[in-house]
Amino acid sequence: MRVAIALVVAFIAAVLVPALAIVVPYAYGSLSMGDGYGWVRTGNFGAMALAVSAGHVLILGVPTFIVLKWRDVIRWWSSALSGFVLGCLPVGIWSWPLLYPELKTSSSHWDGEKMVQTMIDGVPTVAGWISYTKGFLFMGAFGAMGGVAFWLVWRALRPNSTPHSDARATSALDQPPSARAGERGR
């Protein structure tokens, strides 16, 4: 029962941490400007962020946990790496610049100084590839946050598993000979 509670709380942390990491700066920006509808916008954005985060965790995170648990490799680094990959994967697929090259579209965006072409006649430019890479790395960072949050809560709440074989051997050897029932009469 304690394992199930630890899992549920860890998965909730994996949903909440990335969602809050993106909603809090949005709320600060929206509310600090004196926006009369800032709370409404923040609430809507927060609901959307929670839905996306929950979808990632349920659809991608739970199966990944099962595989990592089966392989017995749930560590901080495997959780962070898995979260990063799972954060990158959907946005990397959905925003792939070569998804519809036959449309021969062109696009541009503001890079902070000027408008730059990101796609010309269906072919991404260097600026387009840089923009694409920044986007999926950004989402990967949120996934890594969720993975680390999961691992921290899982590690703190899970019941102690069976000691390693080295620990069992050491603890048996630390006992006085009279307490080692299996060695009597040898």
Distance CA 48, CA 34 (A): 22
| Residue 107 vs residue 125, higher pLDDT | 125
The domains of the chain are located at: 2-97+127-159
- Residues in Cβ contact with 2 at an 8 Å cutoff, skipping those fewer than 6 apart: 157, 158, 159
Q: What is the pLDDT of residues 110-166, one digit of tens each?
A: 878 889 888 888 888 898 898 889 998 999 999 999 999 999 999 999 877 554 444
pTM: 0.74
What are 56's two structure tokens? 């990632």
The amino acid present at 127, given as its one-letter code, is A
Residue 170: predicted pLDDT: 47
What is the SS3 assignment for 84-147? HHHHHHHHHHHCCCCCCHHHCCCEEEECCCCEEEEEECCEECHHHHHHHHHHHHHHHHHHHHHH
Q: What does residue 7 show for φ and ψ, rounded to 5 degrees?
A: -65, -45
Mean predicted confidence (pLDDT) in 67-88: 94
